[in-house]
Amino acid sequence: MIFGSKKNKQLDDIEEQAEFTFRPFHETYRWIATSLTLGLMYPNPATDRTRLILIVTSLLMMQPVIVFILIDMYMCWLKRDIFNIIRHSTIIGPFLGAFFKMLLMYYKRVQAKELIDEMNRDYSSYNRLPRHCRAAAAACVRASVTHTERLWAPLVGIAIMTFPGMAVVATLCSHVFAATPQRYMVHDLNRPFREPEARFDSPYFETLFLIMFGGAIICVFNYTSYDGLFGLMTRHACLKMSIYCMRLRDGFRSDEPEELYRQLMEFIREQRRMFRFGALIQDAFNIWLGTILISTMIQVGSLLFHISAGYGFDVRYMLFSVCSVVHILLPCKNAANLKMMSMETATLVYCCGWERTSCKRVRRMIPFLIARAQRPIRIMAFYMFQYDMELFVNIMRTSYSMFTLLRS
């Protein structure tokens, strides 16, 4: 029984150690890291030149679709065909947004790498923390994996790949069951300066289908990875604040003044790194946050008009509408959580048990720690608009106003 108990205890210790072992970013968030790599956005200095060449090449390969859509939008404008103008704009906007994110991530590659390196540094240090701190960190990591790789990533994949998927299924069913087979495009697009039926001629149809399918794959990787990375970084910022507050509370349980002072200095260093981390998040993502702030107002209103225009229910645009709303909801929610956690830090510092110590130099520092923690960390778009849930409500109201305007 004694040997059995020791063996079971050793197994439990091994399981606990495995459960609370933190690995680097690319091992912890495998799908996000893979999507960043395949989407030509992973900030690796060794591949900077290659990524830039591939970004420009992929953009040039997509030029036929972009040019043809712009030509068709102009032709629709001459006919006052507002419905098809909106139909094209709801597709080409996010499509161009994917390439904009590639170029933006390349431009901000230094800041993005610093963010990932800081996360790797923190995960390495978390392996040496007490068990209760590692448990809290592990719970946060599991929640981040769930939200980004098991919820956000499938939603993006389903919403985007529904377009080529339904085109393939509809074409196959038409050739198998219909007396007069018909082809279906990923995004219905007329051939410039030709009759509408010419869009189904070979090799125009096959070429555009392959280009659009490739564009859909690019969008899946880009929207999964870039927006997922923002969510991971804001969640990690909240985790950093939670961990160093827990460590400060543990420090005040010590009876040794020198150990307490050492923990206090460590808290100050980590707090400084945290503010630097928040500034990096702001610098790396503020341009994109400002872009989606404006584009989502237009996008959601246009999609609502497209769905309710009386041309029949289209599941593709319905899923696209849901994904667009979630796409702006998540950064607003994550930014609001970051702001709330940064404000709560002052309360956590005050409740850490500082009244137990009689060390004067420690007590003198507590008011400054609390005062510094009372400054909230805000995520701003274009350094002007604060991201929070109030902004999300305002975006939805503006989108509905635009939808009402289009209907009138």
**Omega prior to 203 cis, within 30 of 0:** yes
- Tell me how far apart the alpha carbons of residues 22 and 244 are, in angstroms, rounded to a whole number: 17
Contacts 24+ apart (CB under 8 A), 74-80: 75/190
C-alpha to C-alpha distances, 322 to 4, 20, 300, 317, 333, nearest whole angstrom: 55, 35, 9, 9, 16
Report pLDDT for 8.
52
Q: Give dist(CA 149, CA 26) in Å, integer.
A: 13
Burial of 177 (0-12, 13-18, 19+ CB in 10 A): exposed
In sign, the C-alpha dihedral spanning 120, 124, 127, 128 is negative
Structure tokens at 102: 């590639």
What's the pLDDT score for residue 19?
A: 67
pLDDT of residue 326: 95
Burial of 405 (0-12, 13-18, 19+ CB in 10 A): exposed
Torsion of CA 216, 219, 221, 222, to 10 degrees: 170
pLDDT tens readout for residues 289-324: 999 999 999 999 888 888 887 666 788 989 999 999
Phi, psi (rounded to 5 degrees) for 300: -65, -45
Contact 66, 187 (CB under 8 A): no
The Cα–Cα gap between 31 and 331 comes to 19
Q: How far apart are CA 241 and CA 140, in angstroms?
A: 12
- Which positions of the chain have pLDDT values less than 50? 1-4, 7, 9, 11, 13-17
Q: Pick from 257, 195, 226: which is nearest to 109 by CA? A: 226
Q: Are 111 and 285 in contact (CB under 8 A)?
A: no
306: nearest Cα among 326, 292, 291, 320: 320
Tokens linked to 42: 């992973």
Q: Is 103 exposed, middle or buried, given 0-12, 13-18 or 19+ CB atoms closer than 10 A?
A: middle
Cα distances from 188 to residues 184, 209, 344, in angstroms, run 7, 10, 51
